[in-house]
Amino acid sequence: MKKIAIMGAMPEEVAPILQKLGEYKTTEYAGNKYYEATYKGVELVVAYSKIGKVFSTLTATTMIEHFSCDTLLFSGVAGAINPNLKIGDLIVATKLSQHDLDITAFGHPMGYVPEGSVFVKSDKELLALSKEVARELEKNVIEGIIATGDQFIHDEKIKENIVKHFNADALEMEGGSVAVVCNALGVPFFILRAISDTADTDASFSFDEFMESSAIISAEFIMKMVDKIIEQ
Ligand code: ADE
């Protein structure tokens, strides 16, 4: 049977998903809670990791290695870089990078370490499925590059620097690390984000105002992705 991991970083990002499931079993493991449910004949494991690359790495790894998930979907919010992305809009990551990974002192490009790569590409089949979901929901979803780092960005200059190095459309704090884990363990992944702010000086206020509503928009789309995966 298929076993799908659905991850967020914050409680608000997974709450709408848990609400949809109704009943689930809660297991505590490695300092976190994992919620297991059967949904339309497939097994789901849902968790929020806590914010940042380290916690999201731990959770993604646990979902794959301990709970044996074979597909990973991430639902959450992001700061927009691409001016076409407005609050509540959805972005699907085509590839992801770590914008704060910096050994440029040794002549390497930003985001690169030896034996790694600047970008990790998302799974093509899940991207194709998301196009179908977007069409059916009549949602305008942008496909683009997501840059991940351990900072909440609220500064135009830092944004510009991230664009310069990665040509990113949006930024957040977990996708790039989850992508590295899934890529290394051979598990197809899909990272979806709804915009909560534009990573400028007002970002923290915008985030507080829109994080919850945008998280719901992302979660609704993710559950349609689950339906699509099951239909296949
Ligand atoms: N997630 C949502 N908004 C963000 C921002 N401005 N910086 C980093 N992560 C975010």
136 is catalytic: no
Using 50, 70 and 90 to split pLDDT, how confident is the model at 164? very high
pLDDT value for 68? 98
Domain that holds residue 94: 3-231
Q: Is residue 64's pLDDT more than 80?
A: yes
CATH of the domain at 213: 3.40.50.1580
Q: What is the mean pLDDT of the chain?
A: 98
Q: Is residue 1's pLDDT more than 90?
A: no
SS3 (DSSP) at 94: strand
Using 50, 70 and 90 to split pLDDT, how confident is the model at 22? confident
Q: Is the CB of 172 under 6 A from ligand 1?
A: yes
| pLDDT, tens digit, 9 for 90 and up, residues 68-92 | 999 999 999 999 999 999 999 999 9
| Bridge partner list, 142 | 91
- Contact residues for 10 (Cβ-Cβ < 8 A; gap 6+): 48, 50, 51, 76, 211, 215
Using 50, 70 and 90 to split pLDDT, how confident is the model at 61? very high
How far, in Å, is the centroid of ligand 1 from the Cα of 4? 26
How far, in Å, is the centroid of ligand 1 from the Cα of 173? 7
CA nearest to 192, candidates 208, 163, 165, 169: 169
Q: Is the CB of 9 under 6 A from ligand 1?
A: no
How far, in Å, is the centroid of ligand 1 from the Cα of 135? 27
Is the four-CA dihedral 121, 30, 77, 228 of positive or negative sign?
positive
Number of domains in the chain: 1
H-state helical runs in 66-170 = 124-137, 156-166
pLDDT value for 88? 98
Whole-model pTM above 0.95?
A: yes
